[in-house]
Structure 1
Amino acid sequence: MPAHTRRDLLRNTLATAAALATAPAAEAFAQPHAAKHPWPPHRRPSPAEIEANFARLDAARDLPVFRRDLFPNPVILDSIELLHYKKSWLCRVRSKDGAEGISISNAQQMASLWPIFMDRIAPFFLQEDARDLEKQLDLCMVYQSNYKATGMAMFVPLATLEFAILDLFGKLANKPIGLLIGDRITNPKINVYQANGERYITPEETIDHLQRDVAISHARAIKFKLGGRMSHVETPPDRSARLIPMVRKTFGDDMVISADSNGSYAPAEAIRIGKIMQEYNYAFYEEPVPFDDYDGLEQVADALQIPIALGEQEPSTWNFRHILAHNNVGIVQQDMFYFGGMVRCMKVARMAAVLGKQCIPHISSTGLGYVYMMHFVSAITNSGPYHEFKEFNNDLPYTCPTSTLRSDADGIITVPTGPGVGVTIDPDYIKKHEVMKVIKPANFKDAE
């Protein structure tokens, strides 16, 4: 598709998203304290509206993401290497012309999943034209019936390789990654929200820790944990119902507050907790029921006005399509690693945009996890007003000349603008890693 045709189609299909900055829903998420119930009323769409939603979602999903038009000549991947040192897992790719890209994986998950990267993913991409990245991401799931392992097992290694390839292309084009997955940078700076990930502590301890961390990050939004994480057992008992009003009273009306239950509740209890959140003007309610309980999700969405956020655990573009078309979600939260990389995540963000929904991606990793998320957010049109900041791995020596990668006195982080990821890892640190080189099997064509 010619570049000008692609750009015109993208603009037309995502025209709805361009108005999000002034839409009532966007204002509500940005300023949830401004009124007693600031959210737009939830409405179950009719069958005809659902079918129309599906058509719009499909059109957005099917648009190309990777800016192949920037690269007129083949870029053949001559080597793919996985590098390991202590808890660190890096991926390094090189083209036949000598271009190089590097990524840092989700260390916790890659410690278990690295054989999948070596045996079932990387060989598929080796000696192929990396400009076909978008097509290869789909075909790789067919190779060796990889689709049978859909989910984190496939997607963390797949994302690790994709990030390295995007870094390579960014260096070739002298552009940040955001300009490889979008036509322009829409969010050069990102407002952070301060998250507290502790669950089994008292409400008082939770508030103390939030106050401590906000003093460092200067965040104007916060999020904390509810419930028992995919369990109906909460410790201390009734912690959530006590904590929700305490956080609002402690931080005042000007703080944007959200909470995450990680699928802790059955629908009835999720609704009870959600109504308390509404009473205290919370911005969004994350994963109120188990992530794969789509019937329970619909019950909760029908009963509440507060926007529902989810997607951290979701492995399927088709499932996102379903919940968006049925208006069961207000915010999508696909994870850069868990969902298989930026190309797949961009398809979901675009689907959400055409229905006026926001995208606030989840972060699953230290290392460079936050940097990948920032590049992604820089390129989407329906970004939420605040995004989670997680500290980097302090063992990672790096330099970034275009950003401090830390929030300033206003709780804002600048997205790196250098080529690729825009971050340089200390070469001496890289040399400490054991290098495992990928080899393409001789019977590759029959390996399926």
Structure 2
Amino acid sequence: MSWNRRRVLGAAVGAPLGLRVGAAMGADDRGETPRAVSVAELAKVAAAPVLRAEELPAPVTIAAMELLRNGREFLVRVRDRDGVEGMSATNSMHMVYLHPIFVGRIAPFFAGKDARQLEDLLWELYRHADNYKYQGLALWVCVAAAEIAVLDLLGKKAGKPAGELLGGVKRREIAVYTASGTRGNTPEEELADLKKLVAESGAKALKFRLGGRMRRDSADSRPGRSEALIPMVREAFGPDMTLYADSNSSYDAEEAIRIGRIMEKYQYAFYEEPCHFDDLEATRAVAEALAIPVALGEQESSEAGFRRMIAMRAADIVQPDLHYYGGFIRSLRVARMAAAAGMPCTPHMSGSGLGYLDAAHFASLLDNPVPFTEYKGNSAIPISSPTSSLKPEGGIVRIPTGPGFGITIDPAYLHEARPVRAS
């Protein structure tokens, strides 16, 4: 695929069929021309500081960090020596297995540290006690939970939204796409589910799953399901609905291209993880063959891996997961590298905790977003905000504007939560 062709794609990601390509991205999006960049150049871009803590002249010394559990949900509470607290909701579907790592290796590290040094502390935590040997979801889900709580604490100490400490909030309203997590049902069943999700959220965009997930033989979850579903969803929702589809590493390059051609025919807006996520060469072959933009990055856990992905142009859209990749600071470095290469970035949402709200906050900070951000339903954690309903209204989530991340967890819910021990 030529650079010029990819420039057009960059402008058209997420465009309803009736929109002009040049206007597709909207006022917030750059639609910049993709640029060839080296791994070394990307490393320099990523190295610039992300966190701005200059307005906190005195140390913010962490007195304690603890993991709490209420039912299925895990929360992190961090407290400084003045008694100010920060909170985060973890990726609970993984923390249920990973809590010994958090309690034994992550939380103790932060005791006595100055929270203003969070950015540098993330690297020291990576090195500490050989934590780097846990590289991947096992480490970074735990680090993200700690980082988000510390950012909430810093925002509350500064009396500002956490986003203002992370480069500044660019937009307060985030258009979302609703996402189905189902695979293996019939096309008719999936279509009924999608209609329900759209009705509940008011979203103007949606995503569903294709293929058989991490298959070695490229077989579908049900014979013919993907080929039937792709046109069925377009016909049901019409030309003004933006459509995405995610194969979750289902295909080899040849089959991914075949499925992608069907998606092109029905003008889908992006194609997520068509090949095995760690086979960058296969994914690049698909991206080069298709006009539809390819998104990748949910499973990546290494900054060096993202540098290589972007430099070799393995995909068209860079897609870090905030919880799988270790939080806002690391993910914003990825977004910055993508912007340097003229590529859009969008957060992947791992559906747990307050993931939908974390993703919306992240999208509010980006210079290079796509028009819609992933949404998989509200959390079971009872939260409130005086500045946002914290749910989609007409397909829009309004970013809360209070200190920290601008939300309050129901005190009764917190009172019921119990500390988690390492064993």
Q: Which residue of 2 aligns with 1:27?
A: 11
Aligned length: 404
Q: Which residue of 1 aligns with 2:199?
A: 215
Partner Cα distance (1:305, 1:26) in 2: 11
- After the TM superposition, which residues 44-83 of structure 1 pair with which residues of structure 2 at under 5 Å, given as runs? 52-83=37-68
Cα deviation digits, residues 287-343 of structure 1 (max 9, x gap): 000111122112212211211101111111111111111122111111111000100
**Letter of the 2:69 counterpart:** H
Q: Which residue of 2 aligns with 1:144?
A: 129
- Are residues 1:377 and 2:354 paired? no
Q: Paired residue for 1:118, among 103, 108, 111? A: 103
Partner SS, residue 69 of structure 1: coil
Cα deviation digits, residues 20-68 of structure 1 (max 9, x gap): xxx74443013152489999xxxxx9xxx85x43344223211111112
TM-score normalised over the length of structure 1? 0.86
Q: Which residue of 1 aligns with 2:234?
A: 248
Q: Is the CA contact 2:9–2:292 (under 8 Å) kept in the aligned structure 1?
A: no
Cα deviation digits, residues 89-114 of structure 1 (max 9, x gap): 11111111222111111111111111
Partner Cα distance (1:84, 1:348) in 2: 31
Q: Is the CA contact 2:66–2:77 (under 8 Å) kept in the aligned structure 1?
A: yes
Q: Paired residue for 2:408, among 410, 420, 424? A: 424
Relative distance call for 1:103 and 1:37 in structure 2 (3 A) is closer
Q: Which residue of 1 aligns with 2:31?
A: none
Q: Is the CA contact 1:82–1:436 (under 8 Å) kept in the aligned structure 2?
A: yes
The alpha carbon displacement at 1:435 in A equals 2.2
Relative distance call for 1:437 and 1:167 in structure 2 (3 A) is farther
Q: Paired residue for 1:355, among 332, 341, 344? A: 341
Q: Is the CA contact 2:101–2:139 (under 8 Å) kept in the aligned structure 1?
A: yes
Partner Cα distance (1:308, 1:138) in 2: 31
Partner Cα distance (2:128, 2:243) in 1: 44
**Letter of the 1:370 counterpart:** Y
Partner Cα distance (1:212, 1:85) in 2: 29
Partner Cα distance (1:32, 1:148) in 2: 45
Q: Is the CA contact 1:366–1:391 (under 8 Å) kept in the aligned structure 2?
A: no
Q: Which residue of 1 aligns with 2:27?
A: none
Stretches of structure 2 lacking an aligned partner (at least 5 in a row): 1-6, 25-33
Q: Which residue of 1 aligns with 2:397?
A: 413
Partner Cα distance (2:295, 2:92) in 1: 26
TM-score normalised over the length of structure 2? 0.91
- After the TM superposition, which residues 172-251 of structure 1 pair with which residues of structure 2 at under 5 Å, given as runs? 172-182=157-167, 184-231=168-215, 232-251=218-237
**Letter of the 1:175 counterpart:** K
State percent identity of aligned pairs.
46
Partner SS, residue 160 of structure 1: helix
Runs of 4+ that moved beyond 3 A = 23-27, 34-39
- Are residues 1:161 and 2:139 paired? no
Relative distance call for 1:307 and 1:220 in structure 2 (3 A) is same
Cα deviation digits, residues 153-199 of structure 1 (max 9, x gap): 001111111111011011111111211211x2112101111212211
Q: Which residue of 2 aligns with 1:18?
A: none
Q: Paired residue for 2:308, among 297, 322, 330? A: 322
- Are residues 1:283 and 2:269 paired? yes
Partner SS, residue 358 of structure 2: helix
Q: Is the CA contact 1:171–1:420 (under 8 Å) kept in the aligned structure 2?
A: yes
Q: Is the CA contact 1:57–1:321 (under 8 Å) kept in the aligned structure 2?
A: yes
Relative distance call for 1:64 and 1:295 in structure 2 (3 A) is same
- Are residues 1:101 and 2:86 paired? yes
**Letter of the 1:98 counterpart:** G
Q: Is the CA contact 1:107–1:365 (under 8 Å) kept in the aligned structure 2?
A: no
Q: Is the CA contact 2:86–2:153 (under 8 Å) kept in the aligned structure 1?
A: yes
- After the TM superposition, which residues 300-319 of structure 1 pair with which residues of structure 2 at under 5 Å, given as runs? 300-319=286-305
**Letter of the 1:393 counterpart:** S
Partner SS, residue 79 of structure 1: strand
Partner Cα distance (1:110, 1:414) in 2: 28
The alpha carbon displacement at 1:359 in A equals 1.3
Partner Cα distance (2:202, 2:87) in 1: 31
Partner Cα distance (1:86, 1:240) in 2: 36
Partner Cα distance (1:437, 1:142) in 2: 23
